[in-house]
Structure 1
Amino acid sequence: MTRETTSFVYVTYILSTPEKVFEAITRPEVARRYWGHENVSDWKPGSKWEHVRANEGRSVELVGKVIEISPPKRLVISWANASQADDPNSASRVTFEIEDYEEMVRLTVTHDELEAGSGMANGIKRGWPVVLSSMKSFLETGRAIDVFAKPKAA
């Protein structure tokens, strides 16, 4: 039986350059500043990547492989919880497409091959918007937003 999958697409426009947006995704010291995590890899096709929490514990939370890379326009990676790294059925795919758009960049993030109704699918619906909003704020103003903020109680 095949599993039911879903996808999530997020598009944002950033006053920046394709090179800076690509670096914000792939350079650990930049991602740490707006994401609270570092994306660690040598960024070659077939190489592994790790999403490492940028705190004292430095826990690896997500893992995957670099599927395709074409700086500064495109990056495709597999994506799985570190605890499920050995289960190929648990991996989903994230595609970053970076386009020049007049004086800005159009960033399209497509997270697909997600198991419908899974914890991962539910988590990324909340996660990507705040992370990409933080990236946009950081690249445009030098100041990120708090990606770990919680809604205020009513």
Structure 2
Amino acid sequence: MTDELVFETYIKATPERVWEAITTTEFRRQYFFGSTIEGDLRVGGHVLSHSPTGQLWGDYEIFVCDPPHTLSHGWRSLYDDELAAEPESRVTWTIEPQDGDYVKLTVVHDRLGGSPKTAEKIRGWTFVLSGLKSVLETGSGLR
């Protein structure tokens, strides 16, 4: 089993717009299974994520917050008892400007060594990032 999964995509958008898509409910609902995000986006703060019906999906501590470049936070999947019982992992979003008004978005989900069920589930990042890219480039998400 791997301790780290890395996902990359290129998006025709500004770093600020990608940051907004990652950190606001307005965008998140369109590409992240209808979920919300709210909380304190500063190091040591906590961000909550809820399902469309209000179920708590995640309570993430912020480790790094450097808008619009890097966001790193804890990850526990609270929507499933088996996943919630596993140790916390970490998600780091890195936004890098590229030529031609693109950004390279890299998502690293690591600290998965003791969380095999979480590691299997989070392979869905590919779907999430495809949706994020679609929302930013066309205005329409995958939901």
Letter in 2 for 1:18: P
- State the alpha-carbon separation in 2 of the partners of residues 98 and 51 from structure 1: 21
- State the alpha-carbon separation in 2 of the partners of residues 40 and 51 from structure 1: 7
Residue 62 of structure 2: which of 63, 66, 85 is its match? 66
TM-score by length of 2: 0.88
Structure 2 unaligned blocks of 5 or more? none
CA deviations on 1:40-88 (whole Å, 9 max, x unpaired) are 22201111112211x2x2111122200110000000001112258997x
Contact kept? 1:5, 1:116, Cα under 8 Å: no
Corresponding residue SS for 1:119: helix
- State the alpha-carbon separation in 1 of the partners of residues 127 and 11 from structure 2: 14
Alpha carbons of 1:117 and 1:94: their partners in 2 closer, same or farther (altered >3 Å)?
A: closer
Structure 1 unaligned blocks of 5 or more? 147-154
Which residue does 1:11 correspond to in 2?
8
Q: What RMSD, in angstroms, separates the aligned Cα atoms of the two structures?
A: 2.1
Residue 131 of structure 2: which of 134, 139, 148 is its match? 134
Alpha carbons of 1:17 and 1:116: their partners in 2 closer, same or farther (altered >3 Å)?
A: same
Q: How many percent of aligned residue pairs carry the same amino acid?
A: 35
The correspondence of residues 44-55 of structure 1 with structure 2, limited to 5 A, is 44-53=42-51, 55=52
Alpha carbons of 1:117 and 1:71: their partners in 2 closer, same or farther (altered >3 Å)?
A: closer
CA deviations on 1:129-150 (whole Å, 9 max, x unpaired) are 000000000100000113xxxx
Letter in 2 for 1:30: F
Letter in 1 for 2:35: H
Letter in 2 for 1:39: I
Q: Which aligned runs of 4 or more in structure 1 are off by greater than 3 angstroms?
A: 83-87
- State the alpha-carbon separation in 2 of the partners of residues 11 and 96 from structure 1: 10
In our comparison, the structure showing a higher alpha carbon Rg is: 1
Which residue does 2:72 correspond to in 1?
76
Residue 95 of structure 1: which of 92, 100, 111 is its match? 92
Residue 22 of structure 2 corresponds to residue 25 of structure 1: yes
Contact kept? 2:62, 2:73, Cα under 8 Å: yes
Alpha carbons of 1:97 and 1:27: their partners in 2 closer, same or farther (altered >3 Å)?
A: same
